[in-house]
């Protein structure tokens, strides 16, 4: 096995490889770019013109996606997976991965689209570096661009695997990409309707990639992910990488949601009226008092069919403490 196929091992050990470029037996180039960052380039004759960014470990304790990326990269390094796409593997927050924590001081996934410029510290610098790595990778004109940012969630979920699709003014969400996600095992997609400061929002809004945050189950430590079934996603990713993806147009069984409101925590007096173990996608009744904050701010459910995802009263002031979502249709898809 090539040393660069062990990017995860290198990253967890905080080591730089002696050799930065290696070739697999069938001529695939692996190039180490920076800590937790490696580019895969197929031989020119095999290149199908697609660029795929696979990020994981943006939150250091979300290990199932990191292990999935590691398996794919090892398969490539051993010559078992034969890529026809360029691929950029990124482990988002190496120091948090080493410590088994979501983040150290700042949530990296709230520092994109320029937000890192308003902060200091290692995570702000890492977000800037990730933006630069993604910008360089997606700078070749005329190629298709796909970004999957792989996560697991803090809590259990009534819908286990789902995607979040960023938004940009004047750009329509793609039905073909949703069909691809359905085939990869996603059960629901949340269609965003405003700009954001996450990694996928950056690559979608600024780099013209088709970008998705994928939630794959509940976050657990390394080696304890038997309960997170990524088999359908893994199969689809291999097919995308090898350029032999079966055609699919079906959205059958895929639930679509849109954002009704983001619940923003404004002060330390913020209170969320939900049990600590509430699951993502839990339904909330009309009239339910969801949260209270400074200056008698009240969040009362006014939407028919409302559900909550990512409820988290512990976020820093000014950040999202949950998303209220409602069912939507496929009417706006391109």
Ligand X SMILES: O=C(O)CCC(=O)N[C@@H](CCC(=O)O)C(=O)O
CB 216 → ligand X: shortest distance, Å? 10
Which option in Zn ion, ligand X, none does residue 225 bind, with CB closer than 5 to 8 A by kind? none
- Per CB under 6 A, the list member of 151, 180, 182, 236 interacting with ligand X is 151
Residue 154 binding ligand X, by CB under 6 A: yes
Q: What does the alpha-carbon distance between residue 52 and residue 147 come to, in Å, rounded to a whole number?
A: 6
Residue 200 binding ligand X, by CB under 6 A: yes
Of 88 and 259, nearer to ligand X (C-beta) is 259
- Per CB under 6 A, the list member of 68, 81, 90, 164 interacting with ligand X is 164
Residue 310 binding ligand X, by CB under 6 A: yes
CB 288 → ligand X: shortest distance, Å? 20
Q: What does the alpha-carbon distance between residue 67 and residue 55 come to, in Å, rounded to a whole number?
A: 12
Of 2 and 69, nearer to ligand X (C-beta) is 69
In this structure, the number of other CB atoms found within 10 A of the CB of residue 37 comes to: 22
Residue 260 binding ligand X, by CB under 6 A: no
Residues 203-242 that bind ligand X (CB under 6 A): 213
Q: What does the alpha-carbon distance between residue 263 and residue 155 come to, in Å, rounded to a whole number?
A: 17
Q: What does the alpha-carbon distance between residue 325 and residue 256 come to, in Å, rounded to a whole number?
A: 10
215 an active-site residue?
yes
* Window contacting ligand X (CB under 6 A); options: 71-79, 147-155, 170-178, 234-242: 147-155
8 A C-beta contact, residue 166 and residue 139: no
CA distances to 120, 222, 315 from 127, in Å: 11, 23, 18
State the catalytic residue, choosing from 44, 215, 279, 292.
Answer: 215
Query: x/- string (CB under 5 A) for Zn ion, residues 36-75?
Result: -----------------------x--x-------------
Which option in Zn ion, ligand X, none does residue 70 bind, with CB closer than 5 to 8 A by kind? none
Judge whether 62 is annotated as a binding position.
yes
CB 164 → ligand X: shortest distance, Å? 4
Of 74 and 200, nearer to ligand X (C-beta) is 200
Query: x/- string (CB under 5 A) for Zn ion, residues 142-161?
Result: ---------x----------
CB 280 → Zn ion: shortest distance, Å? 12
Which option in ligand X, Zn ion, none does residue 56 bind, with CB closer than 5 to 8 A by kind? none
Residues 14-33 that bind Zn ion (CB under 5 A): none
Which residues form the interface with ligand X (CB under 6 A)? 59, 109, 151, 153-155, 164, 198, 200, 213, 310, 312
Active site residues: 215
Known binding residues for Zn(2+) are 59, 62, 151
Which residues form the interface with Zn ion (CB under 5 A)? 59, 62, 151
């Amino acid at each position: 096995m090539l040393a660069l196929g062990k990017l995860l091992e290198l990253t967890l050990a905080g080591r730089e490889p002696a050799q930065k470029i290696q070739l697999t037996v069938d001529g695939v180039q692996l190039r180490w770019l920076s800590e937790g960052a490696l580019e895969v380039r197929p031989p020119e004759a095999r290149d199908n013109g697609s660029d795929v960014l696979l990020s994981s470990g943006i939150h250091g304790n979300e290990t199932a996606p990191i292990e999935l990326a590691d398996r794919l990269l090892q398969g490539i390094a051993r010559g078992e997976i034969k890529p026809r796409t360029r691929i950029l593997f990124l482990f988002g927050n190496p120091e948090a991965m080493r410590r088994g924590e979501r983040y150290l001081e700042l949530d990296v996934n709230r520092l994109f689209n320029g937000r890192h410029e308003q902060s200091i510290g290692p995570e702000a610098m890492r977000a800037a570096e990730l933006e630069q790595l993604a910008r360089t990778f997606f700078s070749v004109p005329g190629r298709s661009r796909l970004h999957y940012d792989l996560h697991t969630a803090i809590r259990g979920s009534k819908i286990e695997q789902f995607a979040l699709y960023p938004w940009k003014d004047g750009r329509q969400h793609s039905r073909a990409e949703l069909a691809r996600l359905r085939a990869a095992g996603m059960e629901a997609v949340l269609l965003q309707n405003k700009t954001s400061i996450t990694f996928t929002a950056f690559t979608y809004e600024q780099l013209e990639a088709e970008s998705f945050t994928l939630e794959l189950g509940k976050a657990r430590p390394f080696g304890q992910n038997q309960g997170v079934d990524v088999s359908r996603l893994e199969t689809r990713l291999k097919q995308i990488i090898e350029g032999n993806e079966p055609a699919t147009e079906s959205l059958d069984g895929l639930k679509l949601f849109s954002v009704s409101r983001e619940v923003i925590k404004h002060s330390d007096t913020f209170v969320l009226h939900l049990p600590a173990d509430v699951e993502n996608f839990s339904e909330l009744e009309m009239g339910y008092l969801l949260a209270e904050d400074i200056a008698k701010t009240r969040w009362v459910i006014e939407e028919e069919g409302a559900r909550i995802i990512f409820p988290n009263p512990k976020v820093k002031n000014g950040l999202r403490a949950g998303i209220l979502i409602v069912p939507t249709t496929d009417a706006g898809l391109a």
